[in-house]
Every structure is written in C-alpha cells, then in structure tokens.
Structure 1
Amino acid sequence: MLAPTGQTDPAAPAAPADYGVLRWLVAATFIVILNETIMINAVPRLMVELDVDARAAQWLTTSFMLTMAVVIPVTGWFLQRVRTRTAFGTAMAVFCVGTLLAALAPSFAVLLVARIIQAAGTAVMMPLLMTTLMTVVAEQDRGRIMGNVTLAMSVAPAMGPAVSGVILEAASWRWMFGLVLPVAAAIAVVGLRRLPDVGEPVASSLDWLSVALAAGGFGPLVYGLSQLGADGGPTYVPFLTLGLGVALVVAFVLRQLQLQRGGTPLLDLRTLTHRTYALALVLMSIAFMAMLGSMILLPLYLQGVRGLSELQAGLLVMPGGLAMGLLGPTVGRLFDRVGGRPLVIPGAIGVLVALASLTRVDVDSSLWPILGAHVLLMVSLAAIFTPVFTLGLGALPPPLYSHGSSLLGTLQQVAAAVGTAVVVTVMASRQDSLLEGGRAPLEALVGGMRWGFGVGAVLAVLVVVVALAMPGRPRVVDLDDAEVEEPSVV
C-alpha cells in the first residue's frame, strides 16, 4: 500500500467535496491490481499447456510482485515530475500494452515478459491513488476513506482467483487478459476526461545506482529461495544466488544511508526510526507473505487433489473476497471510532486460526471447513489492513510520507514474492521427500501442501506477536525527533 509522493503539501487537505476525485483512480487501481493474482487459478492449466512445473509457473505471479517492488520507489520521483493526468495516462497505457501482449503470448517466456510490463503500469497506479488520497482527504476522515480504498488495494488480489475461475470455465486462459483489456482501456479514456490534476510538478533527482541495486538484489533473493531443493542443477547455485541477492540488498541499504547525509535517497530509512511505522511495516510484510503463499496453494489443492474445475475453485474462494470487500468501509469507520488494537489483534488471531486449520487438509477433506477457513482468513485480513496502513503512514511527519509509503509498498511486494517462492519450495521439497519414501503421488502432493500451509501458520504466529505491540492510534513526531515514544494503547 502506498501513499503520497510529495506533489503538494499533505498538511493542507482539500474539502471533503473533492473526495470524488478518487473515484476513477480507485476503479483503475482495482482493475490493474486484480491482475496481480489473476494467474493463480490458472496455474494447473498453464503447467500443462505451456509445459512448465509449479516452480516455474509461480513466477507469473512472483515476477509481477518483484517488478512492482523495484518500480514503486521510482514512481515517487516520476509522480513529482508530471501532472496527475499524465501519470494516469502513462500507467494505464503501459498496463494495456502488457495486457495485450499477454493475451497474444505464444510461449511462457513471452507471457512472463508481458506480466512484467503489466506490473510496471500497476506500480504507477498504486502510489498515484495514495498520493491523491493523502493530499485531498482530511486526517479525521482517512480511516473511512481508506476503508473504501481497501476495495481496490486489498480485495482485488483476493478476488483475482475467483474472477479467473469464472473466465477459465468458459474460455482459454488468454481471455483473462482479453476481457480485462477493454475494461482497462475504457476506464483510461473516461478517467483522462474527468480526472483533474492535483498538485504541481516539481524538479527532483533520481539515484540510478539505488535503482540498480534494488533490482539486482530483490530478484536474485527471491529466485534463490524458489530454487532451494530444485532438481536439475548444482546444489550450490541457489545459495550463491541468495548470497548475491543479500549482498546487493545490503549495498542498497548502505547507499540509502549515505544519501540521507547528503543527497536524495530513493527510500529514506529514517522512516524506520518511528516505532509505529516500523511495526506496521513488519506486520504488513509478514501478513502478505502468509496471504499470498496460501493463495497460490489453495487452487493447486482444489484442482490438483480434489478435482474441482477452475470455476468451482474460483467460486469457493469468492465468498472470502466478497466479505473482505464489504467489510472494508465498515472497518474504516470502526478504526476512526475505536482505534487500531480492537481490530488488529482479533484479526491477527483469526489469520492464525485460519492458516492453522488449512494444515490439516487431506486427500478427501470436506470442502466446507476449507471454505470457512478461507472466509475467516479474508475477514481477518480486512480487520488488519486498513488500520495498519492508516496507523503506519499516519505516524510519520509529512516530509517522510512519500518515502514511508514507497518503502511499505516495496516491502509488501517483496514479502509477497518471497512468501510465494518459499511456500512452493517447501511444498515441492516435502513432496519429493515423500515420493522417495514410497508414498503415493497424491498423498505426497497433499503432504507437501500441508507443510506449505504450515509455513503460513508459522508466519501468522509472528503476525499475532507484532499485532500485540501495535498502538491504538499514532502520534506524529517531528522529523528530527524520532525518539519520542508513541502511545501503545487505544
């Protein structure tokens, strides 16, 4: 989740009447973020039609997340230099080009490139929406408005598998993009006609070395994790790749610390000196690791083990996505009224219960408990996301809004990519071990999935621990006064 990039003074919000400017940005953001997870339900079919295994197929989602992680910090610089309508038009044009290429992709490699192009457009839309929100919305209304925006930012990924399931039942996987393309194009045309410019462009610089270090660090880090235990190559390669990724990420952090002393950092790490923001960053990262990891496993189980069609699998996860969307505005209003802890702590416990229950899946498990666990997971995440987003960003002084939102969005995507890679790797490794031990293929697959869901459950324990440390409401501190303690109760 992202926020302002400094186009205008966030301390001077416009009147509530101006909130209508968010309508077209929310619609556009929903359609582009929907594509982050729309491929998940198609993975079993793509593995057959494109002749790839689960490790390779998951990169159609992982590459999307990693691209966003690299591009999101750069969009802060981009949005400072252009007007709102220019940024909107550019983002939607890039997204539409990627969507068209995906619909026509003749091979897995071309489809992967198309997903990267789609993600580049999506990475501009997310901060553009949050920039405008933090600029025009008064502080006392941010919980309510953020709850409505949750429909686009959090529900779209949750609805992706359900939407793709409906499409895949009647048509080729290519129509997941063929049907999205005209909708995205129509929103772009109407939005360009009705969207006003918010703020004025300002001159700014971009440290390209930081961009290169981020791109060179996050990619090898996630790739190395995804290849642990894989067959067909030297065993040292994943560890070498992991080491390269870690080294470049450390170099990226050191570069930002250097630029803070005399320059313009891509991500100002002074945001981490604010306790509430740092806790929100950790909580959101872990929660997204658990959520995306479980989301990629569930369709594999429903289709590969239980024999459900894409439509049936999509319909099973649809109630959870709908519940999450319907609760977004309610959670926002409750946050404005009671603060974060009465929402975040029960939500974290609900995530733990849901993921722990999924570790008990079997070859012939009833689908009703699985449906209940998924609904509980989505409802619990709805109770977490809006309060944590608002608490974290609201705890920062205005000069750090752009860096805080960029760091939060970047790590959210990296965490989701890491969670997906780790869960699939654990599942595949456990499956191979059980096959070598003489288990039947189906039993080995289920055994691997149990361990994969177990990774999510362990992460959920950490979510609960961090949630207990979150405050009820933030108290903004000055940029040079990071040592001031923030309240830890409602």
Structure 2
Amino acid sequence: MPVQQLDSPAKSATSVGTPPVIRLLVLATFIVILNETIMINAIPRVMGALNITEQTAQWLSTAFMLTMAAVIPITGWFLQRVSTRSAYATAMGLFLLGTASAIVAPSFEVLLGARIIQASGTAVMMPLLMTTLMHVVPEQNRGKVMGNVTLAISVAPAMGPAISGVILNFGSWRLLFAAVLPIAALITWGGMKQLKNVGEPEVSTIDWFSVVLAALGFGGLVYGLSRFQGGSIGQATGIVVAGLVAIAVFVFRQMSLQKLGSPLMDLRTLKHRTYTIALILMSVAFMAMLGSMILLPLYLQNVRGLSALQTGLLVMPGGLAMGLLGPSIGRLFDRFGGRVLVIPGTIVITLALVGFTQISMSMPYWQILALHTLMMVALAATFTPVFTLGLGAIPPALYAHGSSILGTLQQVAAAFGTALVVTVMSARADSLEAKGVAAALANLDGMRLAFIIGAVLSAAAITTALFLPARTGSNAGKVGHGH
C-alpha cells in the first residue's frame, strides 16, 4: 500500500519553500500544458502548408482534448500501479515522441497522430503532479504549494497563443514544436536525475472493458459537445447521448469492481462531501472560464479586427496576473482557509462576466483588459483553494483516483462550456441575420447573450461556494491510514 510509506517525504518537506520534486513536476506540467493552446494561432499556416480546410485543421486542437478526456480516467489506476519515476518517464517520453514526430510530420494525418501522442503524455502529467503534491506536502503548506501549481496550470494556456504568435513571426508552424522539444528534453533529463519514488506501486489487474467504456464515454461526450460548433445539432446530440450511456455503464462497472477492490476509477472519493462540492464548483467555474476564453478572442478578432498576436498580447496580462498571484493566494489559504477566498472569488468572476455582457463595437481596450485581468485573478482565488480543499478531503489511498476524476471532469467541463457558448452565440447571430441585421452586429449580440449565460453559470458557482468548509479537517488524512 503506498500510504504507509508516505510520512517520510511529508516530514522532509520543510515548512518553507516548495519540495524540489514538485518544482520539477510543475515545470514539466507547464511545458506540456503550454502545448495544448500553442496551435490556436498556427491553424491558418497549417491549412496553407498541408492544403487542408479549417474544419480539418481544427482537429489538431479537438483531438488533443479528446485524447485527454479518454486517457485521464485511466491515470488513477495507472499511477497506483507504477512508480513515480516510471509514470514521469512515460508521460515525458510520450510527449517528446509526439513533439519530435510533429516537427517532421509530412502530412496532416502524421501531425494529428503526433498531437494524440503528445496529449497522452499530458494526460498522465497533471494527475501525477496533483497526486505527488498531496503525498509529499504537509497539510499546513498545501495551499502555498498548490498556488505554484495553479501558476503552471493557468499561465501556460494563457501564454500559448501569445508565445506562438511571436514564434510564428520567425518561421513555419514546425518551429513551434522545434522550440518546445529541447526544453522538454532538458526537463525530462533533469527529472529522471532528481526524481525519487513516492510510495510503492500496487499490483492489480486492469479491466479492459472499463478502459474501452471510459474512452467511448468521456471521449464520445467531449467529441459530441465539440460537434455542436458548425456540425448538425441532431448528430451532435446523438453522440452526446451515446457518450452519456457509456459513462452510465462505466459507473455501474466501477461499483461492481470496487467490491473486488480493483476499479479503474475509484468512485468512493465521491462519498467525501467536500471533495464532491469542490468538483461541482471547479466544473462550473471551468465552464465559465473556458467559455469566455473562447468568446473573447472571437470578439477581438472577428468583431474588432485585431490580429491573433494582438489578441494574445491583450489577454496575456490576465493570465500572468492569475499565475503570479497563485502562490500569494495559496499562502492566504494556508492562513485563513478556503471560504474567505472562494466566496469573494466567485462573486468577482460573476461581476466580470456581467461586465463583458456590455461589449460593443467601440468598448475601450483598457476596459476589456481590466475586466479580463479581474476575472483571471478571481479565478486564481477560486481554483487554488478548491483543488486543495477537494483533494485534502479524501484519504491518501484515494489521491490518485481523486486527481484522475478531477482531471477528467475538467476536460468535460471545458468541452461543455465551449459548446454551450458557441451554440448560443451562433443560434442568436443566425436568427438576427435572418431578420436582416448586419453580420457584425448579429455576431456581437450573439456574444453578449453567450456572456450572459457565462454570468448565470458563475452565479451558480457562488451558491455552491457557500457549502464549502473553511478548511479540511486533518481527520481526513487519518482515515487514510486505516485504509
């Protein structure tokens, strides 16, 4: 059982600073997550170079998200079965292989395959970081260290489009992968030199039926949701329903496997009230965040006529503020608990989204910048405590499964948020254009309505936040030792 071995690293992690193992994993996670959004600006270049349509090119981003949704459910089982070093070597090995393949990809099919391999590595990396953090860092310091993790997880996607905009000025889209490869290789080498194993792997068999169900269920759900953009609504709904049916069968399968002690995803984590509330809150906040991350570039580029690079630079301060404030927010959490941060955080997110419902053809750029930065800071104040409280509420034996469920739901919430805002925006714009309204004004009105939906979602997050405790009692950890 890994739990018995875990006290030693916790004691050796001093109450000051972040343990070196976490620093390494944060750095690796930053690089692999950066890659998720780095392709956004490159789509037009790839279309020209490989002679493909925009719909086909979008698969480079969609397939990444789909792979994450299909692979993350398996990581809870995988992380318990292999050593920390093996998990790290697998994640970074896949990522390096995918990146190297992308540099030399002669066709779209090879590039798509390379993105899928990259995403498989990324899918292992995030739960590995969260699980190791919960095992290695003592409870009283978790907020601060989780703040550093938020820095990697939030700054990377925000920086992706801006960094790729700069790199694309110097050469082709292949340069994006060529720039990432040596950095990732260096981090992998450093990690393999310094990384120690945390806990001992357990030996258990894998239920392949569950693996197939997870891939079909979560992958199908995310794919169906992505089809709402420009696809036929009937077909998209059919795929979503099929995905939900597969997930329902998956849940029943896990419940029967739990009795035998070998589930692929251990759903006993959901019996812990604080963890479940944190999951709901994270999902709703993620939907609101992803929805606005999609809408804002569309507004700035399609309505206001900014270039991809200008758009990236305008939203960059918000991403940086969110990341840089992460550690300070973590320290506040360690001192005062979660409610003090999460309740004001969700209120400010809602207010920022209400501000965005006022977008117009001439809204000053400083106002957009201020609203975006305000929202990102409020998201940092929400995510760090929510992750820490949620995972802190479950016994150590379930950390790997808790991280895996959290990661899976993040992908589903992201896909749902994106599908929701794009569908609402397009439907509203189409109906107005049919009535003779100019395309730009119809689009603008569609975006306003989509922001209103984002604001309603985040208002629901405020209500959920009221149910969170200030902090997780240390008794949660004690439960794990008897596990």
After TM superposition, the score normalised by the length of structure 1 is 0.89
Contact 2:154–2:319, Cα closer than 8 Å, also in 1 = no
Aligned counterparts of 2:383 and 2:22: Cα–Cα separation in 1: 19
Question: Which digits, 9 at most, give the CA deviation of each residue in 1:247-267, with x for residues without a partner?
Answer: 111111111122122241122
Contact 1:305–1:363, Cα closer than 8 Å, also in 2 = yes
The yes-or-no answer on 1:366 pairing with 2:364 is yes
Contact 1:396–1:477, Cα closer than 8 Å, also in 2 = no
Aligned counterparts of 1:161 and 1:293: Cα–Cα separation in 2: 16
Q: Per-residue deviation at 1:317?
A: 1.0
The yes-or-no answer on 1:86 pairing with 2:86 is yes
Aligned counterparts of 1:359 and 1:103: Cα–Cα separation in 2: 41
Match in the other structure for 1:357:
355
In structure 2, give the amino acid aligned to 1:161. Answer: P
Identity %, equivalent residues: 61
Q: CA RMSD in A?
A: 2.7
Contact 1:214–1:249, Cα closer than 8 Å, also in 2 = yes
Match in the other structure for 1:16:
13
Match in the other structure for 1:161:
161
Match in the other structure for 1:377:
375
Match in the other structure for 2:70:
70
Aligned counterparts of 1:135 and 1:181: Cα–Cα separation in 2: 30
- Residue segments in structure 1 that go unaligned for 5+ positions in a row: 483-490
Match in the other structure for 1:267:
265
Aligned length: 475
Alignment of 1:134-153 (within 5 A): 134-153=134-153
Aligned counterparts of 1:149 and 1:35: Cα–Cα separation in 2: 17
Mean Cα deviation higher: 117-126 or 154-163: 154-163
Decide which structure has greater helix share: 2
Distance 1:169 1:374, change over 3 A: farther
Match in the other structure for 1:244:
242
Q: Per-residue deviation at 1:143?
A: 1.3
Aligned counterparts of 2:171 and 2:299: Cα–Cα separation in 1: 22
Distance 1:260 1:480, change over 3 A: farther
Contact 1:72–1:406, Cα closer than 8 Å, also in 2 = yes
Aligned counterparts of 1:148 and 1:29: Cα–Cα separation in 2: 11
Distance 1:80 1:142, change over 3 A: same
Distance 1:433 1:176, change over 3 A: farther
Q: Per-residue deviation at 1:138?
A: 1.4
Mean Cα deviation higher: 288-297 or 324-333: 288-297
Aligned counterparts of 2:338 and 2:476: Cα–Cα separation in 1: 22
Distance 1:30 1:480, change over 3 A: closer
Contact 2:77–2:265, Cα closer than 8 Å, also in 1 = no
Match in the other structure for 2:220:
220
Aligned counterparts of 1:195 and 1:236: Cα–Cα separation in 2: 49
Distance 1:8 1:425, change over 3 A: farther
Contact 1:427–1:449, Cα closer than 8 Å, also in 2 = yes
Q: Per-residue deviation at 1:343?
A: 0.5
Distance 1:220 1:167, change over 3 A: same
Distance 1:109 1:417, change over 3 A: farther
Aligned counterparts of 2:428 and 2:387: Cα–Cα separation in 1: 35
Contact 1:65–1:414, Cα closer than 8 Å, also in 2 = no
Match in the other structure for 1:488:
none
In structure 2, give the amino acid aligned to 1:364. Answer: S
Question: Which digits, 9 at most, give the CA deviation of each residue in 1:366-418, with x for residues without a partner?
Answer: 21111111101110011011111111111112222222221111111211122
Q: Per-residue deviation at 1:236?
A: 3.3
Aligned counterparts of 1:423 and 1:39: Cα–Cα separation in 2: 21
In structure 2, give the amino acid aligned to 1:123. Answer: A
- Residue segments in structure 2 that go unaligned for 5+ positions in a row: none
Contact 1:96–1:185, Cα closer than 8 Å, also in 2 = yes
After TM superposition, the score normalised by the length of structure 2 is 0.90
Alignment of 1:54-453 (within 5 A): 59-105=59-105, 108-228=108-228, 230=230, 236-453=234-451
Contact 1:33–1:157, Cα closer than 8 Å, also in 2 = yes
Distance 1:400 1:198, change over 3 A: closer
